């Protein structure tokens, strides 16, 4: 089998490798065996992923002589709750896990966050391995040790930093994902180019459509470069005291949109991030820190691959500016009552800004919503004209 490509997240005694390749899942048992404290693991996955990938992982564990059991949770962001966390931990205790037992998170960001948080708090800390099955999880949520669950007040407000022992990213899995999920993950890939690597963003402009279509060489390169960028940032700032917060580009806006839509299928995380990144660029332009051409370039690229860039691209609903701002006020980056924004001085030039006034945000939202209303009106006028022409 092909040897996976390897990156290291350098965190002293908590360091670990990210292994990336097309046969990683089939080799999972062999790859993780040297790191296990015992020959027993518990796989945590959801019902959909169990059907698609569980048997392959179980065979890989059998091949390596690793005993395994599994716990299946409901699919979707609704599993990132205190109730589901309690049920998961109770099930782990029923299985008589020991501190030498390792948890395997087989799934996307929801499973990684939920299983990772359960690993952090069960028996005061269990080892766990991330086996991300979505593009979003492979390039973002599986790396860096952030774990957590959602509450009615906001996204990921309860959680812990708990680093995995290993990340196994099998890019062949990604070719089976629905296009909408690939696009949602792609938004996080784009983020890395916007934060600190304009050259990577340029590469994405040329190759992004191919990787979304499942071209394996482009997929592997995008996952590798995204993980490399995140590993460097996490190694320098593990607990988000400084530059790691740059990874939240677009997320303050995006999380507000997610909260308003109920963390469901109406708006996927990556879709919210895509709109949020455009809004972060627009706010930067509004403040005179970024050239309008850079915001237009981002908007064109996201639209070209099929990601939303504004309210006009989202499902019709009433958006209330004050409710959106209230959601933003519950963001984890709020300090001293002020929201910390990730803004840009151009593509590849992200920075943290704590001096944004809420009136600036209100003006931004109001303009964006007015633009969406105008777009809808023009579309309706065009449709009416077309119908009248056809009927004449």
- Out of 230, 299, 301, 327, pick the active-site residue: 230
Active site residue: 162, 165, 221, 269, which one? 269
Of 80, 155, 165, 188, the active-site residue reads 188
b/e per residue 264-296 (b: at least 16 CB within 10 A): eeebbbbbbbbbbbbbbbbbbbbeebbeeebbe
Catalytic residue among 124, 318, 355, 357: 124
C-alpha distance from residue 110 to each of 17, 73, 80 (Å): 21, 10, 6
Residue 287 appears among annotated catalytic residues: no
Catalytic annotation on 379? no
Contacts of 60 (CB under 8 A, 6+ apart): 25, 26, 27, 28, 29, 30
Q: 332 catalytic, yes or no?
A: no
Q: Which of 244, 301, 327, 332 is catalytic?
A: 244
Kindly name the residue from 255, 299, 327, 332 that is annotated as catalytic: 255
Question: What is the C-alpha separation between 239 and 245, in angstroms, rounded?
Answer: 9
Please tell me which residue in 80, 162, 248, 332 is annotated as part of the active site.
Answer: 248
* 255 a catalytic residue: yes
244 annotated active-site = yes
Q: Catalytic site residue 220?
A: no
Is 230 one of the annotated active-site residues of the chain? yes
- Concerning whether 202 is annotated as a catalytic residue, the answer is no
**The one catalytic residue among 251, 299, 301, 332:** 251
What's the token pair of residue 136? 């979003």
Residues with Cβ within 8 Å of residue 28, at least 6 apart in sequence = 57, 60, 61, 131, 168
Q: Check 53, 68, 146, 165 and give the catalytic one.
A: 146
DSSP string, 120-157: HHGGG--EEEEEE-SHHIIIIITSS-EEEEEETTEEEE
- Residue 359 token pair: 């009136």
Catalytic residues: 124, 146, 188, 230, 240, 244, 248, 251, 255, 269
């Amino acid at each position: 089998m092909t040897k996976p490509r390897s990156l290291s997240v350098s965190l002293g005694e908590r360091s670990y490798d990210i292994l990336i390749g097309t046969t990683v899942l089939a080799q999972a048992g062999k790859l993780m065996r040297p790191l296990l404290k015992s020959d027993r693991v518990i796989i945590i996955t959801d019902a959909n992923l169990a059907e698609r990938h569980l048997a392959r992982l179980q065979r890989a564990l059998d091949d390596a002589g690793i005993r395994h059991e599994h716990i299946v949770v409901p699919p979707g962001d609704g599993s990132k709750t205190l109730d589901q966390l309690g049920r998961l931990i109770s099930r782990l205790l029923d299985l008589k896990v020991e501190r030498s037992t390792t948890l395997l998170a087989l799934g996307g960001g929801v499973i990684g966050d939920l299983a990772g948080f359960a690993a952090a708090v069960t028996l005061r800390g269990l080892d766990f391995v991330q086996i991300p099955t979505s593009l979003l999880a492979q390039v973002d949520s599986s790396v860096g040790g952030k774990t957590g669950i959602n509450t009615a007040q906001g996204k990921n407000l309860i959680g812990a930093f708990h680093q995995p022992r290993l990340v196994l990213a099998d890019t062949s899995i990604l070719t089976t994902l629905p296009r909408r999920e690939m696009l949602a993950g792609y938004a996080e890939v784009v983020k890395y180019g916007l934060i600190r690597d304009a050259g990577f963003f340029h590469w994405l402009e040329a190759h992004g459509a191919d990787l979304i279509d499942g071209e394996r060489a482009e997929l592997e390169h995008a996952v590798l470069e995204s993980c490399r960028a995140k590993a460097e940032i996490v190694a320098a700032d593990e607990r988000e005291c400084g530059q790691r917060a740059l990874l939240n580009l677009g997320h303050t806006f995006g999380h507000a949109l997610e909260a308003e839509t109920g963390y469901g299928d109406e708006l996927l995380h990556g879709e919210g991030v895509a709109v949020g990144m455009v809004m972060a660029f627009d706010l930067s332009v509004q403040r005179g820190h970024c050239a309008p051409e850079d915001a237009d370039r981002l908007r064109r690229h996201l639209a070209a691959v099929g990601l939303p860039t504004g309210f006009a691209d989202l499902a019709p609903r009433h958006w209330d500016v004050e409710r959106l701002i209230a959601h933003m006020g519950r963001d984890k980056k709020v300090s001293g009552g002020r929201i910390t924004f990730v803004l840009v001085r151009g593509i590849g030039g992200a920075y943290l800004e704590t001096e944004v006034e809420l009136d600036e945000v209100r003006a931004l939202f109001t303009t964006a919503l007015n633009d969406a209303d105008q777009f809808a009106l023009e579309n309706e006028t065009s449709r009416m004209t077309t119908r009248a022409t056809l009927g004449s």
